């Protein structure tokens, strides 16, 4: 068949689009692509479809495969960086002087470094996110960030392929419907959790999802939870406050919460300052980190996900220190790096500030934060950097080249928004799972993908932030 595409005449057929919209929303609900509502974020009495694209978005097959194939290299890189105290100390030295949140995390890191565990079990569930850059007239894959903490939508993206297959069939695009890939990150993420649970070695111990108080995205979690229950692994959901009230360590550093032994703490909360509502929340995090429970992520892996570490890894010669005998691995990883620049005090940082002030539309200013909606773009970069260009405050940020994707037309199905054609861009994520005990690597896999799409009018923001929507790749 010819290169798969959604015909322009279909995209302009208002009557058909209206019919497809109703069918698509029903299909999303029937397939469990769900979120709780804004008005009732902690109740399942009222739910709605999670936002999604009406049609799948075209993604070059060679770049999709590149993102999937490189995932296992990033899994290893995360592990090696997380076990390099000297690198983390140097990389974050300037940041922790001005960023209080990162400094608190690093203080916990230093404390647990003083009491290492024998044969510690390492579990990493991550998602490396990319965009397709078209700045030079050709498509290249460029990494936006790597999420080492609470990498979301592995659950809901398991069910979105069925929605798009159905819509394409209804639109009489039968050949295109066959090209939507099966995708089951939830099963892969659960496989890693189950393996770590087995390694922990206590059948009575449970997996604890550490969650936030507002839980609109609970169904994304439930997909993974249910995979664990199917393996007869008990799952509980608790918040920092619960750990503060009832948590304790026994003499062997086993963690107990509400009288239950915890084999794994799977952090779905704790990546932003507002997640720590009191000093007790920080004490609970320290207790967890000191315990023999498997942490996903542990504090060192959390720090690997900071933007400053991402920027330092892009420096010439740094990747070679982590893969000294693997030049091909280094080349494959480095090929995905966008331009990343330090804003540390000194000549290099001054040069990079001037560069951003001269052409702010070409860059993104990034703080050490996750969750979407934190980055700074365009004229706002000039305002922010003018204010802090001579202050150490700037070292809390890094600068990155702005990716220039080629926009495509699609429709975004979102509650309360009229359905209109929009020029959109997409972000592709690859889910990685890595399990190690001592020096033995027991799992290193890419377990699925996530495509999120947003209107080009929005510079920043994910699905949970209410900007991007769920999507599927139509490989070309």
What are the residue numbers of the active site?
Answer: 127, 145, 147, 152, 307, 366, 370-371, 452
Report the pLDDT averaged over residues 177-186.
96
Show which of 384, 402, 420 is a domain's final residue: 402
Co-location of 136 and 29 in the same domain = yes
Which position has the token pair 């790597």? 146
One DSSP character per residue, 56-118 reads: -EEE-HHHHHHHHHTHHHHHHHHHHHHT-HHHHHHHHTTHHHH-HHHHHHHHHHHHHHTSPPT
**Domain span holding position 70:** 8-338+403-475
Residues 150, 191 within the same domain: yes
Contact 361, 402 (CB under 8 A): yes
Annotated binding residues, as ranges? Answer: 127, 145, 147, 307, 366-375, 377, 400-403, 427, 452, 454, 460
Q: What is the pLDDT of residues 92-110, one digit of tens each?
A: 999 999 999 999 999 999 9
Residue-wise pLDDT for 362-389, tens only, equals 999 999 877 667 899 999 999 999 999 8
Residues annotated within the binding site for Mg(2+) are 145, 147, 370
Residues 61 and 147 in one domain: yes
DSSP string, 398-455: EEEEPP----EEEEEE-TTS---EEEEEEEEEEEEEEEEETTEEEEEEEEEEEEEEEE
Torsion (CA) 462, 464, 465, 469 in degrees, nearest 10: 50
Residues 90, 21: one domain? yes
Q: What is the pLDDT of residue 4?
A: 75
pLDDT in tens, 129-143: 999 999 888 999 999
Judgement on whether residues 211 and 353 belong to the same structural domain of the protein: no
Assess if residue 293 is contained within a domain. Answer: yes
Q: Is residue 1 part of a domain?
A: no
Q: Does residue 211 sit in the same domain as residue 167?
A: yes
Q: Name the pairing type of β-strands 421-437 and 408-413.
A: antiparallel
Supply the pTM of this predicted model.
0.96
The answer to whether residue 398 sits within a structural domain is: yes
In this structure, are 225 and 304 located in the same domain? yes
Same domain, 215 and 361: no
Residues 167 and 156 in one domain: yes
Residue 3 in domain: no
Residue numbers belonging to the annotated binding site for ATP = 145, 307, 366-375, 377, 400-403, 427, 452, 454, 460
Confidence of residue 1 (pLDDT cuts 50, 70, 90): very low
Are 305 and 349 contained in the same domain? no
Calculate mean pLDDT across residues 378-403: 93
Among candidate residues 379, 402, 425, the one where a domain is terminated = 402
Looking at 351, 375, 402, the residue that finishes a domain is 402
Instruction: Tell whether the model's pLDDT for residue 119 goes beyond 90.
Output: no
Residues 313 and 434 in one domain: yes
Let me know if residue 124 belongs to a domain.
Answer: yes
pLDDT (tens digit per residue) in 318-353:
999 999 999 999 999 999 999 999 999 999 999 999
Residues 55, 113: one domain? yes
**Annotated binding-site residue numbers for substrate:** 127
pLDDT classification of 3: cutoffs 50, 70, 90: low
Number of domains present in the structure of the chain? 2
């Amino acid at each position: 068949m010819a290169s798969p595409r959604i015909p322009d005449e279909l995209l302009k057929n208002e009557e058909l689009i209206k019919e497809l919209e109703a069918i698509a929303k029903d299909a999303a609900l029937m397939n469990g692509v769900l979120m709780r509502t804004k008005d009732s974020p902690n109740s399942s009495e009222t739910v709605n479809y999670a936002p999604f694209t009406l049609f799948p978005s075209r993604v070059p097959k060679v770049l999709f495969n590149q993102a999937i194939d490189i995932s296992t290299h990033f899994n290893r890189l995360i592990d090696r960086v997380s076990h390099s105290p000297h690198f983390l100390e140097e990389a974050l030295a300037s940041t922790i002087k001005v960023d209080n949140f990162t400094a608190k995390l690093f203080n916990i890191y230093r404390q647990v470094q003083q009491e290492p565990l024998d044969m510690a079990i390492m579990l990493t569930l991550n998602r490396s996110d990319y965009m397709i850059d078209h700045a030079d007239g050709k498509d290249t894959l460029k990494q936006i960030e790597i999420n080492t903490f609470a990498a979301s939508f592995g659950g809901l993206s398991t069910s979105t392929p069925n929605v798009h297959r159905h819509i394409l069939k209804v639109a009489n695009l039968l050949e295109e419907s066959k090209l939507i890939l099966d995708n089951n990150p939830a099963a892969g993420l659960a496989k890693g959790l189950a393996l770590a649970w087995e390694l922990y070695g206590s059948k009575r111990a449970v997996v604890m999802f550490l969650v936030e108080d507002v839980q609109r995205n609970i169904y994304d979690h439930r997909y993974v939870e249910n995979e664990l229950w199917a393996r007869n692994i008990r799952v509980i959901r608790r918040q920092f406050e619960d750990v503060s009230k009832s948590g304790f360590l026994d003499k062997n550093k086993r963690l107990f919460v509400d009288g239950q032994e915890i084999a794994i703490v799977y952090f779905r909360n704790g990546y932003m300052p507002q997640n720590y509502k009191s000093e007790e929340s920080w004490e609970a995090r320290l207790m967890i980190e000191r315990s023999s429970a498997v942490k996903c992520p542990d504090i060192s892996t959390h720090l690997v996900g900071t933007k400053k570490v991402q920027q330092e890894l892009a420096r010439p010669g740094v990747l070679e220190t982590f893969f000294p005998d693997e030049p091909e691995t280094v080349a494959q990883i480095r090929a995905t790096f966008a331009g990343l620049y330090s804003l540390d005090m000194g000549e290099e940082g001054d040069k990079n500030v001037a560069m951003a002030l001269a052409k702010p539309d070409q860059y993104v200013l990034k703080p050490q934060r996750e969750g979407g909606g934190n980055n700074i773009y365009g004229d706002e970069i000039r305002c922010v950097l003018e204010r802090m260009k001579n202050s150490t405050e700037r070292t809390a940020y890094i600068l990155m080249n702005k990716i220039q994707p080629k926009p495509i037309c699609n429709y975004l199905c979102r509650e309360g928004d009229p359905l209109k054609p929009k020029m959109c861009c997409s972000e592709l994520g690859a889910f990685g799972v890595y399990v190690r005990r001592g020096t033995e690597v027991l799992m290193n896999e890419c377990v699925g993908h996530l495509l999120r799409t947003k209107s080009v009018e929005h510079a920043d923001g994910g699905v949970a932030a209410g900007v991007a929507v769920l999507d599927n790749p139509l490989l070309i």
